[in-house]
Structure 1
Amino acid sequence: MTLTQLLELFSAFIESVEGSAGPADIARVNALDVAAEDEFSFLSNPKYRADLQRTKAGVVAIRRKDFDALDAATQAARAYLVCRDPYLLFARVAQSLYVQMRPAPGIAASASVDPAAHVDPSACIGAGAVIEAGARIGADVVVSALCTIGRDTVLEEGVWLYPRVSIYHGCIIGARTIIHSGAVIGADGFGYANDAGRWVKIPQTGGVRIGADCEVGANTTIDRGAIQDTVIGNGVKLDNQIQIAHNVTIGDDSALAGCVGVAGSAAIGKRVQIAGAANILGHLSIADGTVISVASVVTSSIDKPGFYSGTWPVQPHEDWEKSAVLVRRLDKMRDELRSLRHELAALKNPPGAQ
């Protein structure tokens, strides 16, 4: 797009335009260190100011304080879009410049579509895909090669499934949701009763309901509910290789990073952010707006929003060994401390003292 179009389109995000006139046309977005004269980039983290000194980018989104910190020559070298959140403006511009090519509507000759399924004429069903009886495929849906859609499952308008996605029976995928390769939606939850040491399977009769405008990463799994549905709210973003167990609920606009594990019946609120490899135990709740740091283990409910961590930062191995020894001795040290307190109290208040 032209720079003029960009400024008009995103005027609500831009506080002012500084520096040079910039290029007439913006071809694409790129990182500061490799961007060319006809490309758009951004500075969000001040530690990358050195890249800004060397970049050839024609237009850069930047905060006011970071622009004011530049020398005069760098300020004049390109056009700067001063804004509150350069990363957000970068995302908006990238969306406008990136056009994903939709495949042509139709059903591939090698696809298997049950006569009792409904496929909208505008949908695309790829090679080797399987659509079972009672499934409903909405307008502009893309079901890529080798996907499997179980019976009575619904894909609403604009859903996009990448190759080899498996969606079991009785699931609902909301409008415009994207699901990446290898994801499995609606597999049985891990439900068993113990009978004298042997495991008795509990039929998982619920489904999975995913809201609109969600994204599910590659090889992520979302288990069906044991009785009621597993529910993922609108706008939820799930990274790759995440495990969502049966009967979990996740509120609107929450985001979970790679390798997070959420155990059964956990209730995660709206706008919650969970960093990579964190573990959430089952049957607990997390308040709206909570942030969980990387590799944390949440063992009890969080009722008050905030930033929570439960990690042991990395350290030299010999230091970790010393710390581990101390941790193993904490119970003994606690008992010794209690004993010392009692002895000190006895010394301060000997028997018979007035």
Structure 2
Amino acid sequence: MKLLSELAEHLNAQVIGDAACGVSSVATLEHAADGAISFLANSKYRKFLSQTNASAVLIKADDLPFLAPGVNALVVTDPYVAFALVAQLLDNSPPLATGIHPSAIIDATAVIGNGCAIGANAVVSADAVLADHVQLAAGTVIGRGARIGESSKLWANVTVYHNVVIGKCCVIHSGAVIGSDGFGFANRAGTWLKIPQTGSVIIGDDCEIGANTTIDRGAIADTIIGNNVIIDNLCQIAHNVQIGDHTAIAGAASIAGSTKIGRYCVLGGGVGVNGHIEIADGVQMTGMSMVTRSITEKGVYSSGIPATTNTEWRRNTARLRQIETLFQRVKQLEQQLSQLKDNGQSSSTED
């Protein structure tokens, strides 16, 4: 439990109401109960301010007049950021493991730092290095020579291949595979020949990798994920991709090989990015967009076709099939118009 006075000091916030009020959990305005702290970051939820049962609310000064009587408040400039900081303080997620489980398999040449926790049936291979306070949940496998940075957490059944480097304070969720072979093959007369993937994966500090996401090792050079990159569930990052610091990638996005994505980019859910292209810093791609060529200027980009009624979709599809015919007709009309103009100018000259 935290007192509002403690939270106010942590957030540099102003307390409205009882500074000695204690809160032990976070909740939405609509579903909060006594002992919970909530927040208002979007004005469309303002109607719940007068009805909430929360003990306290993180709020902007402009929204104070709408707050229910008797509800305490912490006045902040950005309620959503404040909510994230408070949620961290009140986080009651269980540890991934406690101590080193007897069933864990740890090679004699592996280096295990102080305060590490390794769960049941986890494997730490030869020459791997776990820095201080690393947590490995049950079934996680750390490959030969891999290095995991201080205070990083790997949930159950994460697989980290050989020589992968993961920075400090990272979180990698269950089922993620880091460092599997990139999709590298050469075609010889119709037969696919595998190209050994001899690079690795380097992940910076403070990153979060979602469940069942895969990040392929480089073909020759490394796949590189910058600092504070967040990647959602079920994403595919191919070999030799580089992702700049503070970029966010939403669920089911796929990035093809040797693509370079800048800093502070945001890729919405289901975005597909072609290989061997570059995306500038600060680019935002809306969900389901397909990126087929480089983007050199920051901004918001979109593609794809939004859902519509089946009748309208069929009509538009039928028209799309006629686009080449329509293009040729327009081209002919332009040529005819140009000839008419030329004839008209010739007649004027003769007169």
> What are the superposed Cα offsets for residues 286-309 of structure 1, whole Å, 9 maximum, x if unpaired?
111111100000111111000111
Do the aligned residues in 1 keep the contact of 2:106 with 2:125 (CA within 8 Å)? yes
State the alpha-carbon separation in 2 of the partners of residues 5 and 139 from structure 1: 29
Equivalent of 1:263 in 256, 266, 274:
256
Unaligned runs of 5+ in 2: none
State the alpha-carbon separation in 1 of the partners of residues 343 and 280 from structure 2: 51
Question: Which moves more between the two structures, 36-45 or 239-248?
Answer: 36-45
2:269 alignment partner, SS class: coil
CA shift for structure 1 position 236: 0.6
Question: For residues 45-64 of structure 1, what are the structure 2 equivalents within 5 Å?
Answer: 45-64=42-61
CA shift for structure 1 position 104: 6.4
Question: Which moves more between the two structures, 167-176 or 79-88?
Answer: 79-88
Do the aligned residues in 2 keep the contact of 1:164 with 1:182 (CA within 8 Å)? yes
CA shift for structure 1 position 23: 6.6
> What are the superposed Cα offsets for residues 293-336 of structure 1, whole Å, 9 maximum, x if unpaired?
00000111111000111121111111111111222222221221
CA shift for structure 1 position 346: 2.3
Verify: 1:26 aligned to 2:19, yes or no: no
Structure 2 counterpart of 1:6 = 7
CA shift for structure 1 position 43: 1.3
CA shift for structure 1 position 50: 2.3
Verify: 1:331 aligned to 2:311, yes or no: no
Identity %: 42
Structure 2 counterpart of 1:84 = 77
Residue identity opposite 2:10 in structure 1:
L
Question: For residues 244-255 of structure 1, what are the structure 2 equivalents within 5 Å?
Answer: 244-255=237-248
Residue identity opposite 1:233 in structure 2:
G
CA shift for structure 1 position 77: 4.0
CA shift for structure 1 position 99: 4.2
Do the aligned residues in 1 keep the contact of 2:5 with 2:20 (CA within 8 Å)? no
TM-score normalised by structure 1 residue count? 0.93
Equivalent of 1:144 in 137, 140, 153:
137
1:134 alignment partner, SS class: coil
> What are the superposed Cα offsets for residues 220-267 of structure 1, whole Å, 9 maximum, x if unpaired?
000000001100011111110000000000111111010000000110
Question: For residues 128-167 of structure 1, what are the structure 2 equivalents within 5 Å?
Answer: 128-167=121-160
Instruction: Return closer, same or farther for 1:345/1:66 CA change in 2, 3 Å cut-off.
Output: farther
Residue identity opposite 1:221 in structure 2:
T
Do the aligned residues in 1 keep the contact of 2:115 with 2:133 (CA within 8 Å)? yes
CA shift for structure 1 position 79: 2.5
Residue identity opposite 1:45 in structure 2:
N
Spell out structure 1 runs of 4+ moving beyond 4 A. Answer: none
CA shift for structure 1 position 164: 0.5
Do the aligned residues in 2 keep the contact of 1:284 with 1:301 (CA within 8 Å)? yes
Instruction: Return closer, same or farther for 1:128/1:252 CA change in 2, 3 Å cut-off.
Output: same
Equivalent of 2:227 in 227, 230, 234:
234
Equivalent of 1:182 in 175, 185, 190:
175
Instruction: Return closer, same or farther for 1:294/1:97 CA change in 2, 3 Å cut-off.
Output: same
CA shift for structure 1 position 115: 1.2
CA shift for structure 1 position 121: 4.0
State the alpha-carbon separation in 1 of the partners of residues 60 and 76 from structure 2: 5
